[in-house]
Copies of this chain bind each other. A is one copy, B any other.
Amino acid sequence: MDDLKSGGFTLPGEAGYEALTLSLAKRWGADAIRDSDGTTLSADILSAGYSIYKTLCVIRQHNRWIAQHPDCRQQCILSTAPRVCTGEPLFIPLTADFFKEQFAVNDAPDSLSRWQVFDRTENAPLAAGNWAYDAASQSVLVRGRAWHSYTVSFFAWRIWEEISMYNHTTNHWDAEHLMQLDPVHPEAQAYLKEWLAAWCEENPTVNIVRFTSLFYNFAWIWGSDPRKRSLFSDWASYDFTVSTSMLAAFENETGVFLTAEDFIRGGRRSPGHDAPSEAMRAWMQFVQEFVCRLTRELTDIVHRYGKKAYVFYDDSWIGMEPYNGRFPQMNFDGLIKCVFSGFEVRLCAGAPVPVHEIRLHPYLFPVGLGGAPTFMEGGDPGRDARNYWRQVRRALLRCPVERFGLGGYLHLTEGFPDFVNSVETIGGEFRRIRALHAAGSVHALPCKVAVLTAWGKLRSWTLSGHFHEVCDHDLIHILECLAGLPLDVSFIGFEDVKNGALNDADAVICAGRRGTAWSGGELWNDPQVLEAVTAFVYRGGTFLGVNEPSVVEGYANKLRLSAILGVNLGEHSCHGNWQADVRTPEAVAALGAVLPAHETAYLDSPDTEVWLAEQGRLALTRHAFGKGQGFYAGGWRYGAQSARLLLLLLAGKAAHDTLPDTPFVDCAWYPKAGKLALSNQTSVPQSGAVTVCGKTIAFRLDADAMQVLDV
């Protein structure tokens, strides 16, 4: 075990700044040094006794080979914007809508045979005899019905690797555009394995190969018009795994035939926010198996050279699913996740892999999120680091993580001594927490919480990307609350519910707008699911429904769980409303949490208690049902107060033991270590008291501070 001053820390080294690199490595207690995109480590650094990470992007930087094997470029399916037929023949240019530097039409015969022209007015494919492709103009001539709208779904080559494209475009680089090869092709696989072996040979000083990342990027489709550059962007989408070859392989193995429309879905595609179709589940599973198989061949090569293989969990991560049960077969030695938030710490920590490493923010870049200044004039990276760290720390208190690190360009830290100090403090706290976990399990309240979504376990501790990318979805707020709460949390799907998963739960959460994967959408249209949940609550369980859980259209009672929740949803202006008095329980009122009220939620039972409301609209209700209870919240937003409120709803009275009397301080109790860690979630001092094992302890915490007390 390292001491509290050093160990478990990966520093981004920078050539040309050898002295700085080695001095900060010492000060921050690094035991490993990594390169960053565009940086190389010099001999002085490589020989200084640190573990050396080197970044490896498997599918990029093979332009020469790809030029000789253009059929091994990656593909995807695109669909043109709908165009109205006025009765005349309609010419639809294929490339007009898309960024021409990203896409080129794939009009090879095995591609053309899969193209579809769709009548979007009737949502039906147009018979093949009614349209024709004109290769010269790269257009499709449609003989359609007057006043109907038509789209063409076609296959495109992707001719610019998207992360490279983004960095390139954002930073106005003028280097060669890097392409990505598609390892679905046997010749590409052979090439890659040979290339990786050669790379290992050529990099004897590297201890850890950091895959950044695997083969297929999340979907990121750019448009031709700068006024709408991003047409579709989804961190969880498998759209960029699609190619004529992968489809043929899929059909060959499964006997299932997918059409372009299975992926295009009227232009909506399949964002992670939508419950996946059966077809999409089958496709994802097939891709996961392929990615797993090939990845294992690559990690085997790395291991053969005595190196370790870590993988960065972003960019081309698609198909590598830490929670699909197959992840250990890839045989990675470590998983690296960049974290803004607590839920991302849990996402990383929960993956079955020997080493978990979190990359902290801010990155050592001049600008951060949304272009705000960081390591430049006007920036305050020390403050940023503390703000992110507070979020991360409360999750770290709940789960062991072995390593942490930074990314970017080290020389940028010059002139920001507050940041340098902050990282030192953070490192000390990180190691202290790691030591607490090492002594034995952290204490959790006797309350097992199951988060129910269409994705179930596969999307444990995540939606689709970082907090700020999905913050209009309630569930991410719930996850961020849960990340630091003393609860045993699992993620379940609707099949799990039918297979008895609720037998092992004390409380169930379902949170999201109607029709989303998070609320379950149409999956609630299954009496077996309703039976299981109803029985679970009647027998004593707690169900928390947030926003529009269990909504299925076609029923007068849109909220299918209205019997449990005592609340229903929807326009009902001719129907009477129960007179409701807001009676906020004292413990809830004391927290001062504010939840969004729902526009059309209304009381559906005379017994439903209204705990929070806003101008007559329901924000939080409780309904006793059998021995259990249903809570309904109009929405959820993360905050220290709402996190504590969530705990109160789920764990009831148990929530008061071993918890500070202020919601602004989180705590974790390590019985084996005999320690209590307190974490100030604010940037002002906090004081209060906490009772552990019948002993009440008063505390006073500085701004941002953590304290570890003996108990």
CA–CA, A86 and B579, complex, Å: 28
Cβ-defined contact, B531 with A148, below 8 A: yes
In the bound complex, CA of A534 to CA of B148 (Å): 8
Residues of chain B with a CB closer than 8 A to A578's CB = 227-228
A93 shortest CB reach to chain B, Å: 15
A640 interfacial by beta-carbon distance below 8 Å: no
Kindly state the separation between the CA atoms of A117 and B225 in the bound complex, as whole angstroms: 58
User: How far apart sit A50 and B453, CA to CA, in the bound complex (Å)?
Assistant: 74
- Residues in A114-170 with C-beta less than 8 Å from chain B: 120-123, 145-149
Determine the chain B residues whose CB is within 8 A of the CB of A606 once the complex forms.
225, 227-228
Interface size class of A (residues with CB under 8 A): 35 or more
Instruction: Name the interface residues of A553-607: CB closer than 8 Å to any CB of B.
Output: 553-557, 560, 562-563, 571-579, 606
| Residue numbers in B under 8 Å from A553 (CB-CB) | 553
Residue numbers in B under 8 Å from A470 (CB-CB) = 573
In whole Å, how far is A78's beta carbon from the nearest beta carbon of chain B?
Answer: 14
| Bound: A82/B557 CA distance, A | 10
Residues B147 and A530 in contact, CB atoms below 8 Å apart: yes
**Are A556 and B273 in touch, CB under 8 angstroms?**
no
A122 to B562, CA, bound (A): 14
A388 within 8 A of partner (CB): no
**Closest Cβ neighbor of A233 among chain B residues:** B574
Q: Does A230 contact B (CB under 8 A)?
A: yes
State the main secondary structure of chain A at its contact with B. Answer: loop
A305 at the interface (CB under 8 A from B): no
CB-based contact A563/B149 at 8 Å: yes
Cβ contacts under 8 Å, A535 to chain B? 146-147
Segment touching B, from A205-213, A263-271, A284-292: A263-271
B556 & A233 in contact (Cβ 8 Å cutoff): no
Nearest CB in chain B to that of A578: its residue: B228
Contacting pair B557 A267 (CB below 8 A): yes
Q: What sequence of 0s and 1s flags, for each residue 273-288 of chain A, a beta carbon within 8 Å of any chain B beta carbon?
A: 1000000000000000
Which residues of chain B are near A412, meaning CB under 8 Å? none
A227 touches B579 (CB 8 A): yes
Residues of B within 8 A of A688 (CB): none
Contact across chains for A556 and B265 when beta carbons are under 8 A apart:
yes
Whether a CB of chain B sits under 8 angstroms from the CB of A232 is yes
Partner of A273, one of B515, B534, B573, B576: B573
Chain B residues, Cβ within 8 Å of A86: 538, 626
Q: Does A231 contact B (CB under 8 A)?
A: yes
Q: How far is the CB of A635 from chain B (nearest CB, A)?
A: 13
Residues of B within 8 A of A573 (CB): 271, 273, 470, 472-473
Q: In the complex, what distance in Å separates the CA atom of A579 from the CA atom of B229?
A: 10
Contacts of A233 in B (CB 8 A): 574, 576
* In the complex, A16 has a CB within 8 A of chain B: no
Is B538 within 8 A of A147, CB to CB? yes
**Residue A660 is within 8 A (CB to CB) of chain B in the complex:** no
Asked if A516 CB lies within 8 Å of chain B CBs, one says: yes
Contact of A557 among B120, B230, B527, B626 (CB under 8 A): B120
Is there contact, CB below 8 Å, between B527 and A121? yes
User: Which B residue's beta carbon lies closest to that of A267?
Assistant: B556
Instruction: Establish whether residues B147 and A575, one from each chain, have CB atoms under 8 Å apart when the complex forms.
Output: no
Is the beta-carbon distance between B574 and A234 smaller than 8 angstroms? yes
Is the CB–CB distance between B147 and A557 below 8 Å?
no
| Residue on B nearest A515 in the bound complex, by CB | B571
Q: How far is the CB of A277 from chain B (nearest CB, A)?
A: 13
Identify which of residues 472-491 in chain A touch chain B, using a CB-to-CB cut-off of 8 Å: 472-473
Which residues of chain B have C-beta atoms less than 8 A from A557's C-beta?
Answer: 82, 120, 266-267
Chain A, range 345-383, C-beta contacts under 8 Å to B: none
Instruction: Assess the A232–B122 pair: CB atoms within 8 A.
Output: no
Distance from A459 Cβ to chain B, minimum over Cβ atoms (Å): 15
Instruction: Assess whether A294 is interfacial by the CB under 8 Å rule.
Output: no
A227 to B560, alpha carbons, bound, how many Å? 24
In the complex, A223 has a CB within 8 A of chain B: yes
Contact (Cβ within 8 A) A579 B538: no
A–B Cβ pairs within 8 angstroms, 7 of them: A228-B578, A234-B574, A271-B575, A464-B574, A472-B573, A513-B571, A515-B571
Interface residues of A (CB under 8 A from B): 82, 84, 86, 120-123, 145-149, 223, 225, 227-234, 237, 265-269, 271-273, 464, 470, 472-473, 513, 515-516, 527, 530-532, 534-535, 538, 553-557, 560, 562-563, 571-579, 606, 625-626
Closest CB pairs A-B (n = 7): A266-B556, A268-B556, A271-B574, A147-B534, A230-B576, A147-B531, A234-B574
